[in-house]
Structure 1
């Protein structure tokens, strides 16, 4: 705004309403910001007015200053715009024009797109409206189609109803019962809507349907009576063809259970006849005198074989007509006769074999005497008699298991067909879920029925009871046999290292375990293994431990005296010789028995791996076989304990006598000439190793290979310990350490040759000591020590820093200050 214009603005133009009051109010002599004085009125009332004062000139100055600032800002902006326009005009004018044209084209295209989008929206709305209309018409057509199909089906059912009613009487009169049953089956499977029509009031539409329904209902009752009477007559006559003809028709008239019951009469008669024949042969003593000890097992096997043949020859007829679901119900009907035969067989078995009495005797022995010898009890059963009965029970259980597997395989061979059911119309996903649910429920129901048939029947429950008796008998047999093996233990051949105890014990345990495995019952196998390992850990282990203890406890130095006497060919007392032999046999028997038990475990695992079993049974067997391995480890530990005691008595003192004094008599602060002389004339190492070798060679024939290997490792450990103790009492220089290294290599080569690479681990610590002594400086020793720490194994312990200082202190030529300062 120009400055003159601002001056031309009058006060009246700014405040046009009251110009005079304004002048009087704001242009008076009262300073700005102060209140006017109060004036008294005539009536004595004081009116106080507060008026605001306004400095107009100062406000004008502020506005002028702000205007000036805006003008300058305007001029600056105009200059910037001019500069930018000038630059664009000079350098980028063409680009601006191109950009402007592109923007214009984009705007035009956007207008086209907007119009097209509006047209598309309108078209989609039209299409959506048409689709709704078509969808409604299609839905109406579907409903109409469904109704038409239903009407056609109903019409077809009505026609079939009439056809069945017309042909049923002729079929029954002509004894064409197959056609008559098909008519009744069609009548019973018609839609219920057909029969609801007969309730309508329209006479023309319902008379024929009502008549057909009454005709077929009456015919169904007549046909049922005819089929029952004919099937009963065929059963009485034993006419298999007629029975199979009529039994097929009962499912068609929805009387499957009635057909199975009547047909089972014939099969039960055959089973009863088979049972009587087998029982008669059994009571006569069987057909083979050599198998009298398994007479009842053979009888049960022959009976089950005959029953399986009867079932196999008759089930195909029932399977085709009744379906797999009804076969299991049919087996329940037959199982009653099988249970009755089994009851009679077990009663005969219990009476003739005195099973109950024998079981009470065995229980008394096992529960009162545990694993000790039962000489104090009277009327102790014979182990051979128990062995025969246990074998027969296992054979009986094998026959039962084979029969159950036959039934399970024959009835459950088509589980998929059993669980399959037709799916109707509807959503496919819902049909699939419903089908799976039906399949699951029917499978569970079948499993429950199978469990009831196999485990809840008399055969299943009584056989489980017999298996319990078998486990007790097997335990007693193993206990008595092992005790007899220990009592009759003897060294059969002169050159053998073990006695008859090893073979007898392993044979007894292997026989019992494999007999239990042959029964087909996993629980009996696990119980037998548990009892066998208990005998190994108590009776066998206790006997061997007693022989070992009596060997090295009776005489503190008996082993050394016995071996010395044996080596020199002296005649020792018979008691001492027997004691020595007993000790060696116990040690060797423990090692050999441990080895054979491991082989037995591997053999059992290999045999059972080829048999398909449920996961639960596999886990049980796996856990049981680990107990055999545990018993083998205990026997191996016992053998090692005996060998250690033998080593202490006969080897340790001789190693100490042959090494300690001769080694310390050699001055280890040598010269070069001493080293060369000792290289040609060994001071003592060759003689010492010759003594050790003679001692080992003389005793090798008396020890089992595993025990001899233990002696070798103990010898290596003791040699290393004795040399380490002797080295700690010597002072070395560089040449003395070199001689020590030569001696260590001789020992290492000898022990590796006789004991293998495992002996190197036993003298590994000695090797670290020798390496530390064979260095030039303390720094080199520290480097060797650090390198040895990285190369140590779990069996070789690395030297600690205090030990390193002590070893380096044996070098007389190393400064003490340098040794103490190492870290």
Structure 2
């Protein structure tokens, strides 16, 4: 027999799919009551059989339920089934009607499509017919115009009405080519008149071309401006614009040659103003370009309307040949009189540290004059190029209609844009050839290269001279003459390069200037700072052993001390002036509209001035550290030594006594103030601030060392807090909040020593982590334990257990 407990376990279940919470609870309860036994296969088999029997009973019960539900639906839902069947039948009938309608619609659409194709074909045929009719009408009109031109051309030529004759030829040359193909047809009646008109107009074109050429040449020879302007306008109408420009340019070239000879003659004679002999060649070039600009300005309007901007560029190339010839002669004279090639060789030897006799070295003042004149020459060239670009290059070539009569409106948008792009590229290439590939452009670039070398030499020699003549400016001055001299030289050279209008020369000048600052000037100041700050204790022993030389030793020490302080202040002042120079240049250049490429070049170059300023600022900080180490640091340590001798196991009476008779801090701050006041008049403000900050850091370090040697009670810590606040107030008053930050670590130690309990100390420590700045390091946990161990009234075990 099966186990009763197991049988009752499975019989207590409920059918599947129903709530079985009660069953599960009962099963779990009985399962917990059964004692643990070893695994028995026979018992497991019995359990499975009982479970199978239960599942069969559940299956039978479910089948009965399904049968009952089906029987109920059969009894109550017969009428519904019949209604549903009727509805489905009606729906099928309606779908048949819809299917028939869809077939009829398809047939109608096919008929409509066929009709649409027929209509489309007829419309297309009408379009073709219309196009042919329009073409025929155009051809008939062209044929009529051809006859009219042929009839009137001879009369216009005989009566010297060349404007009308040119219009007839222009109309003849712009007719549709289909007109001229008709003359080759075999039908004699249709082609005789066309062939006859074509021959007349072809012959008339040759005759008119010869007449216009001869009359324009004659007007040029006679310098008859009105006749020249009359005939030069007619050449584009007969499709010979190059011929007209070439002949008209003969007259303008004669004017340019005359202008060039007059200016060269005045230049060789020494000019008209003796006060401007130093810029004689620059003035000559400026006057020449001014005259050429007037010539172009007065003659371009005559050509612009009839020739178009594309041909104006070609015309400028013709004139540029004479301008290049004048510029070549000017540079040859400039090189010979100013000895430019000779100076370039010597300057190159100097800049590359080649051996050179002192007698051969050029005078920087001479180089200064030549560099200024080259800049003025480049300024004149840049002004002329800007005039040409504004007068010709800035306009879009598509805005000018060519005389051939092409109508851009008949071309689709895409083709028009493509043609515009190609024309723009061609124009830019021509402008580049005119501005940069001409003799004026290439020679001026070479001249600017020479200028950069001359400018570098001038700055080098001027800076070296400023270093040799370096002297204190006045009795109360903190800096020497080298500061103003160097900044003046660099500012002058950079602004002179900027005045030339050439951005590359500006960048090169700034590069050379910053290189001199970073090498020559920086090394000079660094050399004096490296000698160190000499105090009286450094030479007292020598003066004692050599009494006769004591005075000399003292004077040498004072001289070295003065040189150190001057170099220190010079570095700080140079850093400040270079930053001002950078800002001034940026402000000046921002007012001038430049291309993005040039703007980026200038911005990058000015950052080099800032980098040089940072190097001098770093040198000044290094000098301030050397001054602090030599003159102040050891004295602070000596004056802080008595601090740890004060007993910190105090009472309230001791605190009250210290309020009236402070044993340390008052005297300590007085001594520190004497040290700072002693050096303040001799230091630049930035350097003095750096020394004060170093002093604050050293005070905090020495006080921290002294605190580590003491034992505190609650009153002793309270006295320490008062002393700390006195020191903070003094340093904040002297150097501001930056000095207070140097005492941040000491403030954390004082705060930890002034707590009541260990738990409060941990709160203070965690709070200090959130309040510290990037310049102040938070105390670590081992350091916190060491600080709290200085409190004699805190148990050691509690301090060690801090986590």
Q: Which residue, 669, 677, 680 being the options, matches 2:657?
A: 677
Cα 1:361–1:78, aligned 2, differ >3 Å: closer, same or farther? closer
- Kindly provide the CA deviation profile for residues 298-333 of structure 1, in whole angstroms up to 9, marking residues without a partner as x: 000000000011001111111101001111110100
Determine the structure 2 residue equivalent to 1:596. Answer: 577
Cα distance, 1:675 vs structure 2? 2.1
My pick for the range that moved more, 221-230 or 402-411, is: 402-411
Equivalent of residue 477 in structure 1, options 432, 449, 458: 458
- Is 1:212 the counterpart of 2:192? The answer is no
Q: Choose which of 427, 434, 440 in structure 1 pairs with 2:415.
A: 434
In structure 2, which of residues 363, 368, 372 is the aligned counterpart of residue 382 of structure 1? Answer: 363
Q: Which residue of 2 aligns with 1:150?
A: 135
Deviations 1:520-541 (CA, angstroms, capped at 9, x unpaired): 1111111111111111111111
- Cα drift, residue 676 of structure 1: 2.5
Deviation for aligned residue 1:559: 12
The equivalent of 1:285 in structure 2 is 270
User: Residue deviations 1:450-499, cap 9 Å, x none?
Assistant: 11111111111111111111011101110111111111111121111111
Please say if residues 154 and 191 of structure 1, whose CA atoms lie closer than 8 Å, have aligned partners that are also in contact: yes
Deviation at 1:416, TM superposition (A): 5.8
Gap change, CA 1:101 and 1:760, over 3 Å in 2: farther
Distance 2:716 2:66 in 1: 103
5+ residue gaps, structure 2, are 1-61, 544-550
Shift of residue 742, structure 1, vs aligned partner = 1.2
Q: How has the CA–CA distance of structure 1 residues 820 and 621 changed in structure 2, closer, same or farther, with 3 Å as cutoff?
A: same
Equivalent position to 2:340, from 350, 355, 359? 355
Cα distance change of structure 1 residues 258 and 416 upon mapping to structure 2, 3 Å threshold: closer
Matched, 1:164 2:149: yes
* 1:799, distance to aligned residue in structure 2 (A): 1.3
Aligned residues of 1:486 and 1:501 also touching (Cα < 8 A): yes
In structure 1, the partner of 2:790 is 810
Q: How many Å apart are 1:346 and its aligned residue? A: 0.5
CA deviation map 1:25-75 (0-9, x unaligned) = xxxxxxxxxxxxxxxxxxxxxxxxxxxxxxxxxxxxxxxxxxxxxxxx999
Q: TM-score, normalised by structure 1?
A: 0.85
Aligned to 1:741: 721
Query: 1:521 and 1:111, CA in 2 relative to 1: closer, same or farther beyond 3 A?
Result: same
In 2, distance between residues paired with 1:558 and 1:132?
A: 118
TM-score normalised by L of structure 2: 0.87
**In structure 2, which of residues 424, 441, 447 is the aligned counterpart of residue 443 of structure 1?**
424
Residue in 1 aligned with 2:162? 177
Distance (whole Å) between structure 2 residues aligned to residue 423 and residue 119 of structure 1:
52
Aligned to 1:83: 72
Match of 1:499 among 470, 475, 480: 480
Q: Per-residue deviation at 1:360?
A: 1.4
1:337 matched to 2:322? The reply is yes
Task: Provide, for residues 618-656 of structure 1, a one-character-per-residue CA deviation record: whole Å limited to 9, x for no partner.
Answer: 222122111111111111111111111111111112211
Hey, what's the Cα distance between the residues in 2 that align with 1:531 and 1:81? 106
Query: 1:110, CA displacement in angstroms?
Result: 4.1
Sort the Cα spacing of 1:698 and 1:327 in 2 relative to 1 into closer, same or farther, 3 A: same
What whole-Å deviation, never above 9, does each CA across 1:192-223 have from its counterpart, x for those lacking one?
Answer: 11111100000000000000000000000000
- Alpha carbons of structure 1 residues 737 and 813: separation in structure 2 relative to 1, 3 Å: same
Question: Counterparts of 1:536-555 in structure 2 under 5 Å?
Answer: 536-552=517-533
1:700 corresponds in structure 2 to: 680
CA contact 2:535–2:631 (8 Å) conserved in 1: no
Among 771, 779, 794, the alignment partner of 1:791 is 771
Structure 1 equivalent of residue 761 of structure 2: 781
Query: Could you tell me how far apart the structure 2 residues matched to 1:158 and 1:496 are?
Result: 97
The alignment yields a C-alpha RMSD, in angstroms, of 2.5
Deviation at 1:736, TM superposition (A): 1.3
SS of equivalent residue, structure 1 residue 190: coil
Closer, same or farther: CA 551–78 of 1 in aligned 2, 3 Å: closer
Structure 1 counterpart of 2:448: 467
Structure 1: state its 5+ residue gaps: 1-72, 563-569
Give the alignment partner of residue 307 of structure 1, picking from 279, 292, 306: 292
Q: Secondary structure at the match of 1:651?
A: helix
In structure 1, C-alpha distance between the alignment counterparts of 2:668 and 2:102, rounded to whole Å = 110
Contact kept, 8 Å, 2:532 with 2:626, in 1: the verdict is no
Query: Which residue, out of 651, 664, 677, partners 2:632?
Result: 651
3-state DSSP of counterpart to 1:198:
helix
Aligned to 1:610: 591
Counterpart for residue 67 of structure 1: none
Following superposition, the deviation at residue 779 of structure 1 comes to 2.1
- Deviation, 1:248, is 0.5
* SS of match in other structure, 1:668: coil
In the alignment, does 2:215 pair up with 1:234? Answer: no
